[in-house]
């Protein structure tokens, strides 16, 4: 495709869904070399006229997701008048829903915008979890919705990512006897923090398997009972000092522990 060929993505929301569809189609034509220009939050006829003005200057297509009938009709009318090919990415499927399920669409652009907002909040939360994983930057503790603390191999990272997908910003802090906990940990409300504990037997099993996977000796101090008991004892003291609720993750799936964390935080904030 010539780079002068343009697809104008027009939406009464962010327009990311429409752009994704256009890119998916474009990949079927010489590797997707098409100029995509997004026009988000189109709200009135004037916004549509702005797109029509530039689209009619060259070879172009308008691909749109507009749910307000009057606005859609205006775009269709003006595109036809100017000889511009305009493709409605939503209406065929909305019609199918309406006919097959016998339901009326809301025709509210805010519904689409809400989905976009939720998507971006999830992405932001995932990026937050990565940035503040394993105590990399203690400043994240003060910004987090949830702070997880625990010794190594108590599922802090997978829990952080799971909760991030539910749009919670999570920082996690490893508790190690040789390392002083960050001051920020004692500056946050207890309602934001959850301690993760585990039985010595289960932790020994997990750490031994971890060492094997890394090709290291199973007798390394990391997996020894003496070391594990020392770490768990130290972690318990830190959690008591913070005053945070504690969950035993010994035989729990990530989903179960995450549910308990959210229940605890909801309860703490209700009565805190």
Whether 102 is in a domain gets the answer: yes
143 and 90, same domain (yes or no) = no
206 and 263, same domain (yes or no) = yes
136 and 69, same domain (yes or no) = no
Please report the pLDDT score of residue 3 as a whole number. 43
Please report the pLDDT score of residue 166 as a whole number. 94
Binding-site sequence positions for ADP: 150-157
Cα 4 → chain centroid? 35
Whether 183 is in a domain gets the answer: yes
Please report the pLDDT score of residue 212 as a whole number. 87
Please report the pLDDT score of residue 158 as a whole number. 97
Whole-prediction pTM: 0.63
Please report the pLDDT score of residue 1 as a whole number. 41
Average pLDDT, the chain: 90
Question: Which CATH number characterizes residue 52's domain?
Answer: 3.40.50
Binding-site sequence positions: 150-157
Please report the pLDDT score of residue 30 as a whole number. 65
**What is the number of structural domains in the chain?**
2
- pLDDT tens-digit map of 23-63: 989 888 866 678 999 999 899 999 999 999 999 998 899 99
Mean pLDDT of each 10-residue bin along the chain, 272 residues long: 76 86 86 85 94 93 93 96 95 90 76 68 93 95 97 97 96 96 96 96 94 77 94 97 96 96 82 51
Whether 90 is in a domain gets the answer: yes
Domain of 93, in residue numbers: 6-107
What one-character-per-residue DSSP string does 90-146 give?
SHHHHHHHHHHH-------HHHHHHHHHHHHHHHHHHHHHHHTGGGS-THHHHH-SE
132 and 230, same domain (yes or no) = yes
Which of these three, 59, 83, 107, is where a domain ends?
A: 107
């Amino acid at each position: 495709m010539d780079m002068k060929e343009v697809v104008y993505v027009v939406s009464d929301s962010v327009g990311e869904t429409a752009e994704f569809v256009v890119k998916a189609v474009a990949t079927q034509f010489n590797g997707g070399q098409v100029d995509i220009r997004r026009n988000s939050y189109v709200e009135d006829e004037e916004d549509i006229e702005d797109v029509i003005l530039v689209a009619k200057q060259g070879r172009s297509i308008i691909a749109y997701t507009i749910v307000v009938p009057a606005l859609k009709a205006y775009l269709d009318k003006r595109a036809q008048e100017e000889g511009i090919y305009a493709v409605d990415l939503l209406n065929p499927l909305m019609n199918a829903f309406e006919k097959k399920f016998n339901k009326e669409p809301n025709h509210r652009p805010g519904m689409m915008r809400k989905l976009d907002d939720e998507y971006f909040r999830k992405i932001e939360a995932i990026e937050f979890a990565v940035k503040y994983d394993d105590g990399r930057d203690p400043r994240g503790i003060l910004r987090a919705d949830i702070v997880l603390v625990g010794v190594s191999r108590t599922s802090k990272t997978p829990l952080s990512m799971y909760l991030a997908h539910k749009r919670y910003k999570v920082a996690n802090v490893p508790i190690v006897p040789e390392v002083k906990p960050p001051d920020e940990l004692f500056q946050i409300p207890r309602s934001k923090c959850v301690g993760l504990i585990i039985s010595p037997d289960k932790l020994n099993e997990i750490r031994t398997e971890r060492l094997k996977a890394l090709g290291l000796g199973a007798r390394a101090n990391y997996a020894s009972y003496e070391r594990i008991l020392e770490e768990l004892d130290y972690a318990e003291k830190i959690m008591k000092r913070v005053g945070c609720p504690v969950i035993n993750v010994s035989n729990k799936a990530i989903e179960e522990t995450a549910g308990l964390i959210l229940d605890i935080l909801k309860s703490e904030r209700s009565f805190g």
